[in-house]
Structure 1
Amino acid sequence: MDTYLNNLLAETSVRYGKPGGIAYHHIADTYIALFTHFIPCGVWEAVYIIEGLLKNASEVQPTTIHADTQGQSLPVFSLAHLLGFELMPRIRNWKDLNFYRPGKQSSYVHIDALFGEPGANVIDWDLIENHFEDLMRVAVSVREGAISSTLLLRRLRSGSKRNAHYTAFREVGRVIRTVQLLRYLSDPAMRRRVTAATNKVEAYNGFSEWLRFGNRGVIADNDPVEQEKTLKFNALLTNAVIFHNTLDIAEVVRQLQAEGWIIEPEDLAQVSPYLTESINRFGQYATHELDAEPEAYEPHLDVDFTKLGEADTEQAA
C-alpha cells in the first residue's frame, strides 16, 4: 500500500529474555522494522538511536527520527542535527526541561516564564563558534565509521562538564532542543505527527510479540549470538506478515474501487497492516502449492495520499 510519508523513522525498545536485554527497533513509517538489535540493560537508550540510522542500508533513508523520552538527550539532539537528522521525540514532562534564550536581553511577552529568570539560561554562542570545527570533525568521523556513535554518546553522557567536547555538544543540543520544544508547543500538526509515529512503534511491538508466541515470547538462551538470531528472525517474520497483510489490504481496496466505491486517503489512514485475524500462527502444512508461482506484486493504489499532508497543513494554519 502506498504511503503518504516516506522519510520518517521511529524507535522504541522492548525488554525480554532471561539474562536481560533490550530489543531496540527502528520502525519506518511504512510499518516495517529497518533495524533491530540487542543492547544491554541499564544503559541510556538514547546513545543507540543514531547507530541504526548509520547502519541502515535499505532504500528507505529517513531524515526524521521519532523517539520517546528515553531516546533523547542534549548530546543526541546535537549529534543528530550535525548528521542531518531531525530528532522529534515525544517527551514526557517537557515542562520540567530548561528552555534557553539566544541572549541575555532576550525576552518574550507571553512565554518568557518558560525560560526561567530574566537573563538566565542563555546560549553560549562563543563556545559553539570556537569548537565548531571540532564538532564537525567528530560528526564526519561518526558518519564515516571511524568513531562509533554509541561510544561517542556514552562518553559524552558520562563526560566531565569541564571537557570542551562535552560542553560544545551540550550547548548545540540546548539550541536544537529548545527550538523543537517551541515548535512542539505551537504546532498541533507536529504533535499529531509525533504521537502517530510513536503509537505506530508501540503497535509494532505488540504485533511482533504476538508472532513471537513460542515459550510465551521469552528468549531462554543465554548465548548472545542465539539471542540476536532469535530477534532477527522475529523481525524478518514480522516484516513478511506485514507485507502479506498489505497485499491483502491493497487487493480489497482495488475490488471496492472496481465496484464503484470511492476510497479516500483518510479511510486508509485508519487501516494498519498489523492485523492478526486472518493469520494462522501455527501454519498450514500443505505441499501441493509449492511449485505455484505467485502473481506479480502491484504496489500502486489509485489513491492520492498527498491530501493527508495538505489537511494537516490547513489545520495548522
Structure 2
Amino acid sequence: MMKYATALRLRTASTEALLRRFTSETTHPAYAAMLEVGRAQRTVFPARWLRDHDLQRETESGLNVVENYNGAGDYIKFGKRGELASNQREEQELGMSCLHILQSALGLINTLMIQDTLALPEWENALTDADRRGLTPLFHTNMTPYGEIQLRTDRRLDLTDLPTA
C-alpha cells in the first residue's frame, strides 16, 4: 500500500492507472488493504464527530452554507424544476455558468442591502458575534421570479463604497 501511495504522491503513477489495475484484479492484497483503510476512516470520523461538539457545530454551519447556496440555485432555476434541460455538455456548462453569475449578482445585491441596513444607528450594537457569523447574502426572499420586474432607470444602486480587492 505504501508503494502505491508513494507513487501517487511522487506522480510516477496516475490514479487512473492504479484504479485500472485494481479493478481488473479485485483480489489484490493492496486493494483489499486500501478498502479496509477507507472503512476505518469512515468509522473514525463519525466517532470523532459524536464526541466533539465543536466539530458538530462546524459541520452544521458548513452544511447550512451549502444548503443556502443550493437553495438559491434551485430557486433561480425554478423554470426547469432545477434540472439541466440538455444532455449536451456545452449547454450544461453554459447553464451552470449563468447560474453562478446570477447567484453572484444576487449575493452582491444582498450584501449591499445588508451593509446598508447594518450601517443604520439602531443596528450598531444589536448583533452579537454569533449573529454576525450567521449572516449570509444567499437569501432569495427579495426575489420575485414569478412576478413583474420593473426596470427603474431613475434609480441606481450605490456601488461607490464597494471594497476593492
Q: Which TM-score applies when normalising by structure 1? A: 0.42
Return the offset for 1:293. 7.7
For the pair 1:226 / 2:96, whether they are aligned, the reply is: no
Q: Partner residue of 1:188?
A: 53
Amino acid at match of 1:285: L
Partner of residue 151 from structure 2, selected from 285, 292, 310: 285
Q: Partner residue of 1:205?
A: 70
Distance change (3 Å), C-alpha of 1:207 and 1:293:
closer
Counterparts of 1:5-16 in structure 2, within 5 Å, are none
Partner of residue 4 from structure 2, selected from 120, 131, 134: 134
Return the offset for 1:208. 0.7
**Alpha-carbon distance between aligned partners in 1 of 2:55 and 2:87, rounded to the nearest angstrom:** 42
Instruction: Say which structure, 1 or 2, has more relative contact order (CA 8 Å, 6+ apart).
Output: 1
Distance change (3 Å), C-alpha of 1:266 and 1:243:
same
Amino acid at match of 1:274: L
**Alpha-carbon distance between aligned partners in 2 of 1:156 and 1:178, rounded to the nearest angstrom:** 27
**Alpha-carbon distance between aligned partners in 2 of 1:221 and 1:213, rounded to the nearest angstrom:** 16
Unmatched 5+ residue regions in structure 1?
Answer: 1-130, 300-317
**Alpha-carbon distance between aligned partners in 2 of 1:175 and 1:246, rounded to the nearest angstrom:** 42
Any conservation in 2 of the 1:245–1:274 contact (CA below 8 Å)? yes
Q: Partner residue of 1:264?
A: 128
Partner of residue 243 from structure 1, selected from 77, 84, 108: 108
> Which structure carries more strand by proportion?
1
Return the offset for 1:174. 3.8
Deviations along 1:122-154, one digit per CA (max 9) or x if unpaired, are xxxxxxxxx313212214439xxx84x6x5797
Return the offset for 1:183. 0.9
Could you say what the CA RMSD is over the residues aligned between the two structures, in angstroms?
Answer: 3.5
State, as a whole percentage, how many aligned pairs show the same letter: 25
Distance change (3 Å), C-alpha of 1:154 and 1:132:
closer
Counterparts of 1:86-97 in structure 2, within 5 Å, are none
Q: Partner residue of 2:139?
A: 275
> Which structure carries more helix by proportion?
2
Deviations along 1:75-111, one digit per CA (max 9) or x if unpaired, are xxxxxxxxxxxxxxxxxxxxxxxxxxxxxxxxxxxxx
**Alpha-carbon distance between aligned partners in 2 of 1:153 and 1:133, rounded to the nearest angstrom:** 11
Greater gyration radius: 2
Q: Which runs of 4+ in 1 moved over 6 A?
A: none
Any conservation in 1 of the 2:68–2:139 contact (CA below 8 Å)? no
**Alpha-carbon distance between aligned partners in 2 of 1:153 and 1:206, rounded to the nearest angstrom:** 38
